[in-house]
Amino acid sequence: MISVDVGNNALEAYLTLHSLPDELKNNPGALTRAIKDALEKANIKYGIIEDALHGELPLNTPVLVAKGKPPVHGKDSVVKMYQIPKPKPRIVESGNVNHYDLNLIHHVKAGDWLGERIDPVPGIPGIDVHGNEIKPEEGILYPLYYDHQSVMQVRMEGKDVLHALKDGAVHYVGDSIAVYDVMEIKGDVDFNTGNIDFNGYVNIKGSVEDNFTVRAAKDIEISGVYGIGGVKLIESTEGSIYLRGGIAGKNRAVIRCKGNLYAKYISDAEVVCEGSVYAGFYIRNSNIRAKQVIVESGRGQIVGGLIDADVRVECADIGNRMETRTLINVRGFSRESMKAEMDELLSVIQDRKKQLADMKVMFRSVNGISKKNKAEAQRIQQEMFNLQEELKRLEAQCLNISGYLKTPGEGAVVVKNYIYPMVRITIRNEILEILNQDFALTYIYRDGKLESL
């Protein structure tokens, strides 16, 4: 005669009148009592909608007669950290002087903000139609990772804030933010300073005199507008090198770095770079080994020497009217292998994202239950953070490969303006001697041969 069905995780109860005996058809009071008895028998205690009980109830049609209060789930803590942008050089013309600007070392002072964590918002319990409490999902308190020797955590206004403990340069060591020491040379590296060998960042406001050496574990910035000359060695074993001026190497300067090299110009020097080389205006009579070599000015030149790159070489002009011998070698890459690597990375990224989502569910199930589970919650929390860091690294790899895949063919030399005779282009061991001046060509390796577009 009267049935009660509970659904939506016991948050809703529906009543259905299948038929009514004569004694209830014309007796609203008796019908109401019968309905309440049915609700009591079904253990419906909370959220009963009285108006629905006293209104007109159609036969054989479920009517919502009780509604629970759903829980309000907590919100995870929000972590904001100091962002180190990807270096992006730009050519700036000021009057008659051209500068090649780049902010490579990110200086901070003691007390500067480095990051913060806003507390998670606690959940609010709900109640089902049976009167039972429904526990909410609690927000996750994500960890803050930092170097305790150079960064301090301060509690203020419902959040944890990170501040620099000393002057220096912001750097991430794995998943922890740190402030590294910076050696700052106010003027030049010369007989007054001696050679520099420093396990941190080096910021030179002037230049480096001939025959001197500067070695650093991290990034090196040489800010003097006139650049450097015949130095013995400038080397960054873990970072990048930036020269606001250029390199006039006098056939003895050696530049080495793990990351990228940025210079206004490069002349008569040897460069070995595991990343890419970016020159603002020209490269002359230099031997350069790098991932990519790019001269950015619309009037840029590569003249003389040997450019040896993995992926591509790009410049406005290659060679000159004097027909100076210029060698361009691109070792090339397998597009299929690179795409396969990209697909594999994307698959791993999807897998890691699923793992992260599963871990969030697992963390919520054990967090706060008892002291016994505290260690397990911390372990899961650490794994979640490690997964997030791995995702950042994998996505950065994908971004790099995506950039390489934009290179036409399987290795390319891009000439935006003119290429001149006595330039030899080699891509994947296929050799092309340029015999006549030509304009705006791209040389690529495709289908087993070197061709121009």
**pLDDT(186) > 80:** yes
Rounded Cα distance between 371 and 293, Å, is 57
Nearest to 175 by CA among 394, 390, 379: 390
Q: Note whether 387 and 352 are within 8 A (CB).
A: yes
- Put simply, whether the predicted model's pTM sits higher than 0.85 gets the answer no
Q: What is the pLDDT of residues 219-247, one digit of tens each?
A: 999 999 889 999 999 999 999 999 999 99
Residue 305 structure tokens: 């020497």
Here the tokens at position 324 are 């100076």
Most confident residue range from 10-19, 256-265, 352-361, 387-396: 256-265
The pLDDT-based confidence of 207 (bands split at 50, 70, 90) is very high
Mean pLDDT of the chain: 88
User: In which region does residue 434 sit, left (phi positive, over 0), alpha (psi from -120 to 50) or beta (all else)?
Assistant: beta
Report the distance separating Cα 27 and Cα 35, nearest Å: 13
Q: Residue 146 carries which DSSP code?
A: B
pLDDT digits (tens, 9 = 90+) for 44-103: 999 888 877 776 778 888 889 899 999 998 888 899 999 887 777 666 655 454 556 666
Inter-residue contact 60 to 18 (CB < 8 Å): yes
